[in-house]
């Protein structure tokens, strides 16, 4: 089966992160080529010879999609915003079903001093700014919105990690697990009903 250029990019980037989630030593161009059925010369031509370049590209591609950075909707009401957050929480769990290594990459590399760690922190920071801006739109102070955005990302990733590793937790189902992520906003839900 021949893959399009776009399919090759996606396969290589996702597989690179899946391999590195098992340990950095698990990633090699040869192993990547075997797993993705994409030639080594194609990988070198499109990603260079540096593992860091490949991993940064992959983290940006997968991380931004996971954090939904491309979706910058501006909900009209607080109730719409909360529904949007809940929908995003459920979609997060669907992504973790497909890519269970995402929370591991996040937690393993968040504190990393290298390029991959910088990329992970940059994606988290952009997500936090987006959530902060959305909360401020409804009259929340910058300081409070920023605290909630930080807690939101940590809660989202912690629940995602539990979802990917704990069979008993998964028994809750995606709606209940997403509601746990949303518990941070329970007081806002009450306010939106008033």
Give 148's pLDDT tier (boundaries 50, 70, 90).
very high
CB 161 within 8 A of CB 125: no
In the chain, what percentage of residues exceed pLDDT 70? 95
CB-based contact 32:15 (threshold 8 Å)? yes
Q: What is the pLDDT of residues 58-71, one digit of tens each?
A: 999 988 888 875 56
Q: What is the pLDDT of residues 71-120, one digit of tens each?
A: 656 678 888 888 888 888 898 898 899 999 999 999 999 999 999 999 99
Closest C-alpha to 51, from 11, 87, 95, 19? 19
Contacts of 9 (CB under 8 A, 6+ apart): 46, 61
Q: How much is the pLDDT for 186?
A: 82
Q: Does residue 34 register a pLDDT over 60?
A: yes
Q: In this predicted structure, what is the pLDDT of residue 136?
A: 92
101 three-class SS: coil
Determine the pLDDT at residue 100. 93
């Amino acid at each position: 089966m021949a893959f399009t250029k776009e399919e090759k990019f996606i396969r290589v980037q996702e597989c690179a992160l899946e391999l590195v989630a098992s340990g950095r030593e698990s990633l090699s161009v040869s192993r990547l080529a075997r797993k993705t059925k994409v030639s080594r010369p194609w990988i070198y031509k499109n990603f260079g010879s540096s593992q860091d370049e490949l991993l940064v590209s992959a983290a940006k591609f997968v991380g931004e999609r996971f954090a939904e950075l491309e979706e910058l909707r501006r909900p009209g009401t607080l109730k719409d915003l909360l529904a949007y957050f809940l929908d995003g929480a459920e979609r997060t769990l669907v992504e973790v079903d497909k890519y269970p290594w995402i929370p591991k990459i996040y937690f393993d590399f968040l504190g990393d001093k290298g390029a991959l760690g910088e990329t992970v922190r940059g994606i988290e920071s952009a997500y936090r700014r987006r959530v902060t801006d959305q909360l401020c739109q409804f009259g929340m102070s910058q300081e409070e919105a920023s605290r909630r955005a930080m807690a939101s990302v940590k809660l989202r990733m912690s629940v995602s990690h539990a979802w990917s590793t704990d069979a008993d937790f998964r028994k809750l189902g995606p709606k209940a697990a997403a509601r746990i992520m949303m518990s941070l906003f329970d007081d806002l839900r009450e306010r939106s009903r008033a």
